[in-house]
Amino acid sequence: MYIKYYPRRFYAVFFIFLFIFFLLIARLFFIQFFKSSYLKSIAARQHNLYVELEPRRGTIYDRKLRPQAVNVNADSLYALPSEISDKEEVIRKLAAILKLDYAYLKDRLYRKKSFIWIARKLSPQTVAAIKSLKLKGLDFVKESKRCYPNGFLSSHVIGFSGLDNVGLEGIELYYNNYLRGSPGCALFLRDARQRKLELWEKMILPKDGYNVISTIDEVIQYIAERELDRMIKDFHPLQAAIIVMDPHTGEILALANRPGFDLNNASSIGENIRRDHAICDLFEPGSVFKIVTASAAIEEKRVTETDRFFCENGSYRVANHILHDHRPHGWLTFREVIEQSSNIGTTKVAQKLGPDLVYRYVRLFGFGSKLGIDLPGEISGMIKPPRAWSKTSIGAVPIGQEVGVNTLQLVSAISVIANGGLLMRPYIVKEIQDKYGEKIKEFSPVVINKVISPGTANRVKEILMGVVENGTGKLAAVEGFRVAGKTGTGQKLDPDGRYSHTKFNASFIGFAPADDPAIAICIIADEPHPYYFGGVVCAPVFKRVAADVLKYLEILPSATGNQANSVRGDDFSDRTDRFHEAKKIN
């Protein structure tokens, strides 16, 4: 049989196959050396799942280690969009359970990403409902959710954190770097069907945050807030604040504002309600400011307690302004000027001092400067230097006008009288610990400056005891104890810049027991009505708070009520553990 040979065709086919072979070799070479990283990344995304491991946020405790902010476990839902075949069905079912907008879910699930968050830190009921759908491409990761067991209590002090473990207000914000910790990560393996295996290739464990021990006492905080709410009910102020401080150390034992809010629902609360008015808001204090003028006059030896001043029967001209008292007075001793809160008598004392000395003591008492409390938002207040004073300022500043202060500055100022003349730095956190209880950092009392001598402080203290026993602060008297304090009623400014005759701030500052002060308290009420005098609105709040706190601290009154014997140790008595103890005090 004859076979015809076609060499041209043979070589053509041979070279075509050879060419194709070299093309394949070239393609393999290109893939191996130029596309390998890209292809490996695709394989890694298919078979590996990178998950960030959230650290446990540190717990915030009160001074007796009662938890105020803790973490609880919660599941967060994520999606792998590339694995979802019917995205419309998934969107429809999730929208019904999560109560989320259709457009929001569509935007997230149609993104060209391998991992996307859908909803964070869900309730167990919601998680169970989603798991029952058995939707492909959805899964959960364990996270921790911030929980505030006391709800409204200490809301402006504790603050709150967001979904991403970042503090947003209060201690949560100021000490966020300590509380937050450091995140870890894990690289989980997945099978050919993209199901997560309980195996991982790499894992870096998160570093948990430190625990914060605050100076707040939960029971004292409860007492303060309970009485603040009672004042709100009786006198309807626009807002109110109270601070209870240890005058010897500067530790804040309680700090509250009204309106308050539930820390577990803080994201839905307006910014003004979340604002810590006690340290962030400015107001003219009124007559509580007279403690500065009184202290300066005694320290500078310009007056004695028995010096007499004619109070002009209630009307006194200062430059082109007529100054009035709340009721007319004739001759008053210096002690009586403060006891009866005479504006005219105080102005005459200030005129003996002169603007420079008045201004100097205002600044020594901490007004016009930040005191350095470890909470966000503190303001410095406002006091003009003497060169900026008008001819009438000498009759305004000494009685608490033309000066802006906050509640924290007032409670610090009255503490100067209580502790013998020292301005202490107020603070809200006493210690930071790791999760094993080891001390990381400790905060101790700090003296900002010496304001007056102990002798002057004692003399002013005696005058302030007279305010409660004989003067405008009688409603602040606590049975069995001697109390020192000062009332204040400050006129607010109208929009035209003039002082209002219908809008006032009411206030009271004081400490108890007067002979051995354990607590200093400041109460502020903005536009209370129908009554607006500090001695009527705020003094009774002081009385009730001081009485219950002293009882809680086991400070016993003497039989005569002239002195009190303290059974306190280095820290407050551990007589009770929860709120119900305070509720028994009535």
Q: Which of 511, 542, 512 is nearest to 525 (CA)?
A: 542
- Integer Cα distance of 7 and 2 in angstroms: 16
d(Cα 90, Cα 317) in Å, to the nearest integer?
Answer: 79
Going by their DSSP bridges, the two strands 116-122 and 138-147 should be labelled as: unpaired
**Cα–Cα distance between 255 and 347 in angstroms, integer?**
33
Please report which helix (H) or strand (E) contains residue 333, including its range.
strand 331-333
Instruction: Give the separation between CA 254 and CA 217, rounded to whole angstroms.
Output: 7
Provide the terminal-to-terminal Cα distance of the chain, rounded to the nearest Å. 126
> ω into residue 385 within 30 of 0, thus cis?
no
Do residues 549 and 525 lie in contact, with contact meaning Cβ atoms separated by under 8 Å? no
Pull the structure tokens for residue 169.
């207000």
* Contact call for residues 429 and 443 (beta carbons, < 8 A): yes
State the Cα–Cα distance between residues 81 and 21, nearest whole angstrom: 39
Task: Name the packing angle between helices 290-299 and 454-470 (round to 10°).
Answer: 140
Q: Is 277 helix (H, G, I), strand (E, B) or coil?
A: helix
Question: Angle at the Cα of 550 (from 462 to 483), degrees rounded to 5?
Answer: 15
Residue pair 134/142 in contact by the 8 Å Cβ criterion: no
CA-based nearest residue to 210, from 181, 253, 169: 181
Of residues 460, 413, 473, the one with CA closest to residue 305: 460
Contact status, residue 409 vs residue 423, Cβ threshold 8 Å: no
**Phi, psi for residue 402 in degrees, rounded to 5:** 60, 25
Q: Please tell me the distance from the alpha carbon of residue 446 to that of residue 412, in angstroms, as a whole number.
A: 13
Rg of the chain taking only CA atoms, in angstroms = 34
The single residue listed with the structure tokens 């400067």 is 369
Distance CA 285, CA 491 (A): 9
Instruction: Please give the DSSP secondary-structure letter assigned to residue 387.
Output: G
List the catalytic residue out of 214, 287, 295, 507.
287
Cis preceding linkage at 513, omega within 30: yes
> Which of 335, 557, 296 is CA-nearest to residue 465?
335
Do 74 and 122 touch, CB atoms closer than 8 A? yes
Q: Is 287 a catalytic residue?
A: yes
Contact between 94 and 100 under an 8 Å Cβ cutoff? The reply is yes
Q: Using the Cα atoms of residue 346, residue 351, residue 353 and residue 356 in order, give the sign of their dihedral.
A: positive
Q: Whole-angstrom Cα distance, residue 205 to residue 242?
A: 43
Spatial distance between the Cα atoms of 56 and 59, rounded to a whole number of angstroms:
9
Catalytic (active-site) positions: 287
